[in-house]
Amino acid sequence: MGLTKQYLAYRAVDSFNIIASGRANVNFAIYNKIQGRYFAAAAAENVILWDLRLGERVLTLRRDKQEVTALRVSPDRLHVAAGYVDGVVEIFDLSNPEESICSLALHKSAVSVLRYDDQGIRLITGSLDTDLVVVDILEQAGRQRLIGHNAPITDVHFLERLALDHIAVSSSKDTQIKFWNLETQFCFKTIVDNRTEVWALAFTGALMVAGCGESTMNVYRLTRKDSNDVKTNALANAVEGLSVDDDDTISPINVKNCGVIQRAGKGRCVNLIADPSERVLSCHGTNDLIENFYFCTKDEAKQRLAKRLKKARKAKQIKEPEQKEEEVEEDVNDKNLSLSDEIKRLNSIKTRQKIKSLDILLGGQNELRVLVSLVNNSVHLYSLNTTSKDEDPKMLRSLNWQGHQSEVRSVCFSSDGLAIGSGSAESFKFWNRDSMQCLRSVSTDYILSCAFAPGDRYVLLGLKSGKLLIVDVGAADIVEEIPAHDQELWSITLLPDQNGCATGSSDCTVKLWTFELIDGNVKEMDVDGVTSTGNSRQVKVLSLLHKNTLKLEESVLCVQISSNMKYLAVGLLDSTVKIFFLDTFKFYLSLYGHKLPILCLDMSYDSTIIATGSADRNVKIWGLDFGDCHRSLFAHDDSVMALQFIPKTHMFFTCGKDGKIKQWDADTFDKIITLPGHIGEAYGLAISSNGRYLITCGSDRTLRLFERTDEPIVLQDIQEEEREEMENEKLATGEDHGMALLPGLKLPSKKTVGSEKAAESILECLDICKQYDLESEIKATLHPLMKALDVKTTTDFLLITLARIRSSDLEEALLLLPFAMVCELLTRLPSLIEERSDEIELLSKVTMFLFKIHMKPISGARHMKSLLQRIINLLTSEVNALRDCIGFNLHSLGLLQTEVEKREGIELFYEALQDKKKREKKRRQREKLKRQLIHMT
């Protein structure tokens, strides 16, 4: 079928105006080997790396459509893990930010917390679906799924400080703190002494601090149990008649509640952050106060205890002159230490707005840097001295110029399309379209509408108070403030002859204004921007002269003037559109049919069509000749907020409260394309005078820029893509995989469309291999898929098919295979292992998983026993050969290192080895002390 009409596609350029989303956290990051200067912040569906010194964004890590809900930078600060609202976790490399390293579908709902282990090899994730998933970063796949909480997960940590790598600690809104054994996926200890939700956990040494819904934070001391102590306690409990399987015999650690920390702020604790050295803990609640606590070393705590005892003796006058110092030192021991001796309160930081998240970094010279993201779309960096209480915290950097501090309600283009204006509740900003940088910012009241005046030197702003502002673009100053209306000024539209404008307001009036130039004084400024005293010059400035007023019976929500200067269209609160003659204000037409108020309207360039958008979610297209409704279109899932025709065409764009942006054809009444919209509501849009650029604003505080490309699109193809996308959202195999033989199985992955396609590719590959083997006896003809993958044998074809499946989707894909195909795959595995021993890791993973899932039917089939024995022997020999190869390479590298050190006279990796030796020495000392204590008991 031939093309009846060709359209050009609009593609997203970028989004800007947003600095940090309120839903996710912020993290310090290392970029170009510099620490403390860069940080990562979530910005709607993207993650932005910001430069604090220059106030510019350095990198943008992108993913379409879904909002970022959690963020975590790896311990080496080189990778960023981002969790999204759909339960997917993406891991990005800062050195190559174009694409993510891996994508993991783990949860059914939004990811609430991400946490790396000390080496950055494992990642544990918590979600609103109450599950925890442990991910192996190297294998790029989930390892364990921990199920036990009854409410959304709020925080989670690996417990590596007690040399227990297989233990994790999690908190939840169900008021519980759980300790998990990752090897058995079993919760061995639960703390239930919190009366309210546990919102955050932090570790400093052996202390665990839990922030809950009260103004106090519980402090727990964790100690590792010795195996001999466990046996002794178990035997004593058995003698006393207690159960041997008591909780104390199961848990490898002791948890003791040693007190509380009283916060100065009221309400619940939102975030608890400890610096990487675990010396400082910062927390904040639902207000604007950041509290900082310093955790002393054992020597510092003893010094504080001695000072406290000395003050107590002086106050009570107990201390005698002849008392020996040895007696004083006897009181200063570990048993007498309290939390007040171990924890020192630092100066608090008062911010300007409510706090959303924070991150801290303890640098040199005892300087604590606190990174704070606020609710008003701004980020501040504070500096605090941990040793001096006299020195107040100071703000080093602030990022607030790059974005509005409230939702953007109105946008407009300049006549040449090079500048963008955006208005919000507190300011109006001018943006460069190409660089997307803020050029000017003017503080104003709540802005509802805006428009560039002819010449682009001035901007007209309509306020919620009904005032009309004239702003000078170059000087970023308000030239004149006109009390145009008594209530909200909803709409400003320029006259087509560029000589004036029309305004519509909730006070039931439409006013016409004409432009005029009046004399005004402008103060001269020197080079540095300082106003020179007494120097001023007279220039002509823009002003508005009221010409006429049209009074109506209902509130005016939108106004538009036809390009031939003949008609004035007014959208009213009573769900009708009244059309008047512009010159005489004589009534011409009334367009009725909408069920809810008209929120937007626009007329085509030839003054033949008018399109209206309403809160009833419909767009109606009318003829201006007779006022007949050509077509009513169900446009959005919520109110249609903005509508505008593309210049010189009958195509128009709409945006609605459902966040979507759609393009329509008013001649054929077809929807052309749906552009990637806002997360939340879309409030307004504007199209450049040449129709090439589109800008939209929404409740996610982003300004999204789109550009028309030369790529033609066909409506049938677009409709087919949208249909496929809707079908892909619903899995054909269902969301939950119920295994008849393993009803309690919960894989650490989630079934996705990718896993279904991977299972289909395996089935197709096995069918092609079977067909090829049958035909090879007669004539060897390669299948087109085998030709496309450039393989000659079925063995290579099967291996490439398995290797092309993402690691996170592999287990789910194998789980979808029917048992007959599993047997077919197992019969081909021995030849695969023999011919391609270089892929032994992948083949071992496939074999082990299939055996784990289908062990009963496989072991029950007699014909499979010889195959099983062969696979076991092959895998054992190949894995042993790989182990020997790795060992040979390791010792060869050690030999080469020794030769290099002898020849060069240096020691390689000296600093790393010294750190390792120190850790080993401390560990041996701890073990020696434990042995001595055991012998003493």
* pLDDT, mean of each 10-residue run, the chain (937 residues): 70 92 89 87 92 90 90 88 92 87 89 92 93 91 90 92 86 93 89 90 90 89 72 47 48 87 87 89 91 85 80 66 49 66 87 91 86 92 86 88 91 93 94 91 93 92 94 90 93 92 94 88 48 59 91 94 93 94 91 93 94 94 92 93 94 94 93 91 94 93 93 86 78 60 67 85 88 71 82 86 86 86 88 85 88 81 82 88 89 87 75 73 66 47
> Tokens in use for 831?
């030849």
Element (H, E) at 210: strand 207-212
Sheet holding 609-614, edge to edge: 598-603, 609-614, 618-623, 629-634
With tokens 């100065």, the residue in question is 264
134 Cβ partners below 8 Å, 6+ apart?
Answer: 122, 123, 124, 142, 143, 144, 145, 146, 168, 182, 748
Q: β-strand 629-634 against 640-645: which pairing, if any?
A: unpaired
What is the chain's Cα-based Rg?
35
| Fold agreement (148-226+252-307+340-402, 404-519+541-551) | yes
Handedness of CA 433, 435, 441, 444 (dihedral sign): positive
| Alpha helix ranges (H) inside 410-501 | none
| Distance in angstroms (rounded) separating the CA atoms of residues 151 and 153 | 6
- What is the per-residue pLDDT for 331? 59
- d(Cα 268, Cα 287) in Å, to the nearest integer? 10
- Say whether domain 8-135 belongs to CATH 2.130.10.10: yes
Distance CA 345, CA 898 (A): 50
Strand order in 68-73's β-sheet? 68-73, 79-84, 88-93, 102-105
User: E strands along 424-488, which residues?
Assistant: 427-432, 438-443, 447-452, 458-463, 468-472, 477-482
The highest-level CATH class for domain 148-226+252-307+340-402 is mainly beta
Q: Provide the phi-psi class of 33: left if phi over 0, else alpha when psi is between -120 and 50, else beta.
A: left
pLDDT at 319: 46
Structure tokens at 585: 């204000």
The C-alpha angle with vertex 725 and arms to 142 and 720, in degrees rounded to 5, equals 150
Q: Which helix (H) or strand (E) holds 28?
A: strand 26-31
Half-sphere exposure of 338 (CA within 13 A, CB side): 9
Nearest Cα to Cα of residue 674 among 648, 713, 645: 713
Residue type, 385: N
Which amino acid, 832?
A: L
Given a contact cutoff of 8 angstroms between Cβ atoms, the answer to whether 129 and 109 are in contact is yes
- Report the alpha-carbon distance of residue 779 to residue 271 in Å, rounded: 69
Candidate CATH numbers 2.130.10.10, 3.40.50.2300, 3.40.50.300, 2.60.120.10; the one for domain 558-724: 2.130.10.10
Q: Which two tokens stand for residue 6?
A: 């060709």
Domain locations in the chain as residue ranges: 8-135, 148-226+252-307+340-402, 404-519+541-551, 558-724, 753-857
Supply the pLDDT for residue 307: 81
Handedness of CA 181, 184, 185, 188 (dihedral sign): negative
The pair of structure tokens assigned to 215 is 């103004």
Give the angle 782-786-789 at the CA atoms, nearest 5°.
145
Q: Are 152 and 162 contacting, i.e. CB atoms less than 8 angstroms apart? A: no
Phi/psi at 526 (nearest 5 deg)?
Answer: -80, -170
pLDDT at res. 95 = 85
> Are β-strands 693-698 and 703-713 bridged in parallel, bridged antiparallel, or unpaired?
antiparallel
User: CATH homologous superfamily for 404-519+541-551?
Assistant: YVTN repeat-like/Quinoprotein amine dehydrogenase (2.130.10.10)
- ∠ CA 610-616-617, rounded to 5°: 75
- Supply angle C-alpha 450, 456, 458, rounded to 5: 60
> Could you give phi then psi for residue 814, rounded to 5 degrees?
-65, -30
The separation between the first and the last C-alpha atoms of the chain, rounded to the nearest angstrom, is 92
Half-sphere exposure of 426 (CA within 13 A, CB side): 9
- Tokens for 345, please give them: 């309160």
